[in-house]
Amino acid sequence: MRTRLMMLGPPGAGKGTQAQRLAEALRIPQISTGDMLRAAKAQGTPLGLEAAGYMDRGELVPDEVVVGIVKERLAGADVAQGFILDGFPRTVPQAEALAEAGVQLDAVINVSVPEDELMARITGRLSCPSCGAAFHRDNHPPRQEGTCDACGSALIVRKDDSAEVFGQRLRSYQAKTAPLAAFYQDRGLLFEVEGTGPLDVIQARIRDIVDAG
Ligand code: AP5
Ligand code: MG
């Protein structure tokens, strides 16, 4: 079984949604740099203050900042059986830093969704600030309006989920993150997953890759 995993894909591809389900099923942690940075921002820590401007503009936070928090997280005892990186690495230098730190991956799951659907997903998203779960006004509404199904917290609209900031996030993705597909393809680790359709169907596509290893 492949348990050292990374989710790759544009904003709104469903990385977080699928990573959270998979993490529960495999009982391994989901490590979302976006969630970690948003938590630091909400707490007003020096890291959060540094990251806030980049995030609100839809730009990537500098590599050295993100690499530092991921290395620290991967030193935790709970990653011994595996982990799901969600939103990291996001640049070739981040991927190189991960490899240099001795962290090996078993599979990089590249989730693809057409651009117009990404926009509709992002502008209708409702997010849980406590556990990171994502819902959607139309596609995937919470059971009780405004409340997270998973942990009961009040749902919010992420500050970077406007149409304008989404455009910048997509440009950052295309310029800096998309080249990671070739990077991991060269290393024999890339697996493509079609990211449209029901959540369970996409999860099953990912499970096929995980279970085949
Ligand atoms: P991050 O939080 O990682 O955001 P992102 O990559 O833009 O991705 P999203 O979280 O927006 O999308 P997702 O793929 O997780 O989709 P989701 O499952 O929520 O990063 C935010 C910011 O932090 C960055 O812009 C950057 O500033 C900074 N940052 C983070 N990591 C960094 C790094 N490594 N380096 C530098 N900077 C970093 O789904 C989206 C919506 O679609 C939801 O509403 C969901 O319900 C719905 N949906 C999901 N699947 C389906 C489906 N199959 N059908 C219909 N709707 C669906
Ligand atoms: Mg996410």
Sequential pLDDT tens for the chain (213 residues): 999 999 999 999 999 999 999 999 999 999 999 999 999 999 999 999 999 999 999 999 999 999 999 999 999 999 999 999 999 999 999 999 999 999 999 999 999 999 999 999 999 999 999 999 999 999 999 999 999 999 999 999 999 999 999 999 999 999 999 999 999 999 999 999 999 999 999 999 999 999 998
57: annotated active-site residue: no
Q: What was the pLDDT predicted at 213?
A: 84
158: annotated active-site residue: yes
The pTM assigned to this predicted structure is: 0.97
Q: What was the pLDDT predicted at 178?
A: 98
CA 15 to ligand 2 centroid distance, Å: 6
DSSP line for 49-90: HHHHHHHHHTPPPPHHHHHHHHHHHHTSGGGTT-EEEES---
Collapse the DSSP code of 148 into the 3-class scheme (helix H, G, I; strand E, B; otherwise coil) and give the result: coil
- CATH number of the domain located at residue range(s) 4-28+81-114+164-211 in this protein: 3.40.50.300
Tell me the pLDDT tens digit for each residue of 93-151: 999 999 999 999 999 999 999 999 999 999 999 999 999 999 999 999 999 999 999 99
Binding pocket residue ranges, ligand 1, CB within 6 Å = 9, 11-17, 33-34, 37, 54-55, 58-61, 66, 87-88, 90, 94, 121, 125, 134-136, 139-140, 160, 169, 197, 199, 202
125: annotated active-site residue: yes
| Both tokens assigned to 165 | 């900031």
Residues in contact with 206: Cβ distance below 8 Å, sequence separation at least 6, in sequence order: 18, 22, 109, 193
